[in-house]
Amino acid sequence: MAKIALFCAVVVMVLSSGVVWAQRAAEGEAAEPNLFSGTFGDSLWAVVAFVVLLVVLGKVAWKPLLDGLNARQNHIEQQLKSAEDSRVKAEHMLEDYKQQGLTVMREATEQAQRHQQQMVEKTREETLVIRRRANEEIESARATAMDDLWRQTGDLLLHVGSEVLGRTLTEQDNQRLIDEAVARLRQNGGLP
């Protein structure tokens, strides 16, 4: 770019000095002095001074300035690449965390369902145990009540037999009467 600017400056100087030289030749050096009213040597020294100024500025100012701009551009490109890498990494991490979250939620749901199933099964077992115990207690109370009823029935028969017959029954008579009374009660549906 600096070479193009230098070339353009040289071309402009040469053309302007050529135009001035041609005007002087046509007017016969009678015009009043202006910016372009020098000789070809003046134009040549102006071009040389301009080129020297460009070379010095190129070495002293433009080269460090361009080096700084290039370094800045490289630094910005590296930062953009680093930011893009960080963004891609963050997206992957976000996706991983989403998957982990879904896995945790699925496991928690499954564990809650298993716990609920266990609690239902435990409650069912406890209910069966309570029902079985209640049935056993009812059956035990029924058996006790039946035994008491039979004993009272036997005592009542003994008492009625001694009253009716007027005598005391022997143990064998007593057992026979009890068995007959119980058999009749069972046939009639009184007691099971």
- Where do the structural domains in the chain lie, given as residue ranges? 139-188
pLDDT score for 28: 56
Residue 167 DSSP one-character state? S
Most confident of 57-66, 93-102, 143-152: 93-102
Rounded to two decimals, what is the model's pTM?
0.39
Cα 98 to chain centroid distance, Å, stands at: 3
Most confident of 13-22, 47-56, 84-93, 173-182: 84-93
Residue 51 to residues 8, 42, 63, Cα–Cα distance (Å) = 11, 14, 16
Cα 72 to chain centroid distance, Å, stands at: 39
Nearest of 60, 38, 44, 33 to residue 10 by alpha carbon = 44
Q: Are 157 and 176 in contact (CB under 8 A)?
A: no
